Structure formats: structure tokens, C-alpha cells
Amino acid sequence: HKVKNNCIMEMLSTKLYNNPFTICIEGNIGSGKTTFLNHFQSFNNATILPEPVDLWRDVDGVNLLDYFYKDPTHYAFLFQSYVQLTRLQLHTMATPSPYKVMERSVFSARCFLENMKRTNMIQNVEAIVLEDWYDWCMKNTNIRADLIIYLRTTPEVVFQRMQARARKEEDSVPLEYLKQIHEIHDDWLYRRTLFSLPAPVMIIDGDKSLEEMMPQFEKCRDRILNEQT
Ligand code: DGT
């Protein structure tokens, strides 16, 4: 009873933040988002939200990520619609700390949708349905982004990393796909000619090695702390 009461007391005293300061880590596949995200573990008061890729791999026993890569024209809409849902769930989730650090966002899901449109992976009407859902959510929920950190990389570098990590679903992904995804991220966050920007953008050289990334992380930390004061 004592243990149970202590747990209840602890839960009642945990303050939840419905509107935390939100940082989204963006960049191409293999750009180092997960590693960068993990640096934030050292950040006081931050809730780290990695990408829900495991959810996509097991939707009632179905690996949708694998289905998507094996047969994009059949599964692009279904996969994209589930990705969008799981991202919205993370955006709207209250956190036990005042900072939320997310790997990607509902905003960058649009980069993939844009690519599906450009390469005719998806029908026009399917894209419209996904975009209508997106617009509705933007108007009717309070999805917030305060800072975007763009790990900008060279497609050839991330292609090598992707091959080295050998995620089994990605074994047939060609360099060409990474080039397309890179161009769309650059259109959005570097050239800034595509979509509107939901937050200020900080660009970081993601081609650098892990050790070389550390000073860049420190720069981010300073910027975030400055924005809060
Ligand atoms: P990292 O840590 O920078 O190496 O990042 P990754 O590669 O672990 O994470 P990410 O988000 O670039 O992608 C994980 C896999 O899921 C990758 O095969 C691309 C795919 N993916 C992520 N988001 C979307 C999306 O919105 N649509 C589609 N079609 N694929 C997506």
C-alpha cells in the first residue's frame, strides 16, 4: 500500500507540459539525427522523442516500412498516412519537461510526400487526401516548433552510412532516392523555396564525424538557452 501510495503521490506531483519548447532535428536518411538527438540527454529538462520507426515495422504484425520499399506504388499512401499519424501523436503529446526534442516532424513528412508526387509514386488524389489531413491538423491542433536543426549532408556520404548500417528494409534504396530526398530538404530548409518554415532553422554540417559534431552541438545548446532567456 505504501509503495502504491508513493507512486500515486509521485504521479500527482509530476507536472506535464502541454506546450513545451519544441526542437525538431531534420536531415536526410542517415544524416546522424539519432546520434545528434542523443546528445540532448545531457540537456536538463528535455524529453527526447526518437522517431517511431519500430511502430512502422509492426502494425499488427505487418512491417509497413518494408512493404513501402518493396512495392512503393502500392504502399506509399498507406505508409505515409501511418507515418503522419504517428508523428502527430508525438507532436500533441504532453511532456514531463519544458523542452521536447524530436527526431523529424510532421513538417518533414511533407518532404517525403513531395518526393512521392514528383516521382509519381502516389496518385494525385491520394496526395490531396494526405494534404487535407495535414491542413486540418495544423488548423485544429496546437502543433508547435521553436527551432529546426538541419543536419545538412551530401547524398554520397549518407548513402555510404546507410549501406554500412545495413537496415534490412533499406537494402534496395538507391543513391538516386537519397539525392531526391536531399534536394527536397534543401529546397525547404536551405534554399527556402518550398513550404513555409515553421520555426527558425539552424544548419549544421552533417558530413562531419561524431567528434567533430560535438562543438556544433554546443552551439545549438547555446542558441536554445539564449532563445529561452
Ligand atoms: P539518422 O539517425 O539520421 O540516420 O536517421 P534515420 O535514417 O534512422 O531516420 P529517418 O527518419 O531518416 O528514416 C528512417 C527510415 O524511414 C528511412 O528508411 C526513411 C523512412 N522515412 C522516415 N520518414 C518517412 C516519411 O515520412 N515517408 C517515407 N516514405 N519514408 C520515411
Q: Which three cell numbers stand for residue 34?
A: 539519432
Q: Which range is least confidently modeled, 8-22, 74-88, 122-136, 138-152? A: 8-22
**pTM for this structure?**
0.91
Q: Which residue numbers are catalytic?
A: 103
Q: What is the dihedral of CA 48, 226, 182, 50, to 10 degrees?
A: 0
Between CA 94 and CA 116 the distance in angstroms is 31
Residue from 24, 25, 29 to probe ligand 1 pocket by mutation (most atoms less than 8 Å from CB): 29
Lowest mean pLDDT among 11-25, 27-41, 44-58, 62-76: 11-25
Q: Is 53 in the pocket of ligand 1 (CB under 6 A)?
A: yes
| Distance between Cα 133 and ligand 1 center (Å) | 21
Q: pLDDT digit string (tens) for 24-34?
A: 999 999 999 99
Can you tell me whether residue 8 is helix, strand or coil? helix
Nearest CA to ligand 1 atom 10: 29
Is the minimum distance from the CB of 30 to ligand 1 under 6 angstroms?
A: yes
Output the pLDDT for position 7: 54
The answer to whether 176 touches 118, Cβ cutoff 8 Å, is no
Q: Is the CB of 95 under 6 A from ligand 1?
A: no
